[in-house]
Structure 1
Amino acid sequence: MVILVVEDDFLIQDLVQGALSEGGFESEVASSGEEAVTLLQGDENNYRALVTDIHLQGALTGWDVAKRARELNPDMPVIYMTGAGADQWPSHGVPNSMLLQKPFAPAQVVTAVSQLLNQTPPPHE
């Protein structure tokens, strides 16, 4: 069960990956929206959830990445992370997503992922 983490700040990448690992989740990191979309579209990767920063380097935002993830998997849980941009969540965020305001405690990421995964039907084999 791999969680895709999209974050361009290496310190936050480490924080989120460490928290997910302690919570029993495997994760893979993309540092741009473009890289994340490439990974999501790859057949070999079956991601169970997406944790994405909203403001990313490059042309694609976290909003864009989440919309593409949902086109590929309508049930994929999405957790947004942001320092500024929470006010845009109601208009840009995908349904059944969560938003974590930076700074947040690492445990909050694990809690958010677990809550959304518990509400999501398992993928069809």
Structure 2
Amino acid sequence: MSARILLVEDDPLITGTLTELLADEGYAVDAVRTQRDAAELLGGAAASPYQLVLLDVSLAEGSGFAVCALAKQTHPDLPVIFLTASDDEVSTVTGLTMGADDYIAKPFRPRELLARIQAAIRRSRPMRSRLLRLGAITIDPDSAHVERDGTEIALSALEYRLLLLFARHPGKLITREAMRDALWDEAGAYIEENTLSVYIRRLRNKIEDDPASPQIIETVRGLGYRARA
């Protein structure tokens, strides 16, 4: 799906030029001329329908600064690029102080404008999820949060580290020795053979539908364990 851009510009010539330029690059453009029209498009939805706002500082009706303030208030992650006169340093500084992500001076160079738009949209995209999954189990390594079908699972520190070890190596055999070494490094204390068996059993009791017939963490007899990919 192409990115959608809200263009707020009251000069018909510039609007036409920008709309054509952006459309040629695959962007969908909604062009409006006034602060009021921009506010109607920005303020009505919980999630912004736009990936960027391209905004003239000077509008015949209203203020570009007011549009920027509304955009950042309703959709804080929505990037805003100001179009400013080449000698209007005050407006540029004011816009950036208000939270605008970038500015470009008129008359603008088309390729530079496109590059700045692409960079702003790219920066605004959320980071790729780092969530790990084992069957119905979801692990967030950033917060150490574990849940099953939306319900949080409380794990001890060693149980969590054990689960994380499996989640990071799905489908691979992990020997008991390798598991003890990994947990020893993390916990700072040696993990005995019997202690490891206890933690495996406790973990299965918390994450398996039927701990007696585990489907997430399988036993590979005589070798170790394997998490189903």
Give the CA deviation at 1:89. 2.2
Whole-Å Cα distance in 2 between the matches of residues 39 and 33 of structure 1?
Answer: 10
Aligned CA distance change for structure 1 residues 85 and 38 (closer, same or farther; 3 Å)? farther
Query: What is residue 22 of structure 2 aligned with on the other side?
Result: 20
Of stretches 26-35 and 37-46 in structure 1, the one that deviates more from structure 2 is 37-46
SS at match of 2:51: strand
Contact in 1 for aligned 2:4/2:50 (Cα 8 Å)? yes
Whole-Å Cα distance in 2 between the matches of residues 86 and 20 of structure 1?
Answer: 26
- Computed over aligned residues only, the root mean square deviation of the Cα atoms, in angstroms, reads 1.8
Of stretches 43-52 and 13-22 in structure 1, the one that deviates more from structure 2 is 43-52
Structure 1 or 2, whichever has the larger Rg, is 2
Whole-Å Cα distance in 1 between the matches of residues 95 and 54 of structure 2?
Answer: 15
The one-letter code matched in structure 2 to 1:73 is H
Whole-Å Cα distance in 1 between the matches of residues 33 and 58 of structure 2?
Answer: 11
Q: Among 46, 50, 71, which residue is 2:49 paired with?
A: 46
Contact in 2 for aligned 1:54/1:62 (Cα 8 Å)? yes
Whole-Å Cα distance in 2 between the matches of residues 112 and 15 of structure 1?
Answer: 17
Give the CA deviation at 1:112. 1.4
State the aligned residue count: 121
Query: What is residue 108 of structure 1 aligned with on the other side?
Result: 112
Give the CA deviation at 1:87. 2.5
Query: What is residue 82 of structure 2 aligned with on the other side?
Result: 80
Aligned CA distance change for structure 1 residues 30 and 46 (closer, same or farther; 3 Å)? same
The percent of aligned pairs where both chains have the same amino acid is 26
Q: For residues 50-109 of structure 1, what are the alpha-carbon distances to aligned partners after superposition, in whole Å with 9 as ceiling and x for unaligned?
A: 001000011x21111011001111011111002253323223433351111100122232
Q: Which has the higher contact order (CA 8 A, sep 6+)?
A: 1
SS at match of 2:20: helix
Paired residues for 1:61-100 under 5 Å: 61-83=63-85, 85-93=88-96, 94-95=98-99, 97-100=101-104
Q: Which structure 2 segments of 5+ residues have no match?
A: 127-229
Whole-Å Cα distance in 2 between the matches of residues 11 and 65 of structure 1?
Answer: 21
Output the TM-score relative to the length of structure 2.
Answer: 0.49
Contact in 1 for aligned 2:6/2:54 (Cα 8 Å)? yes
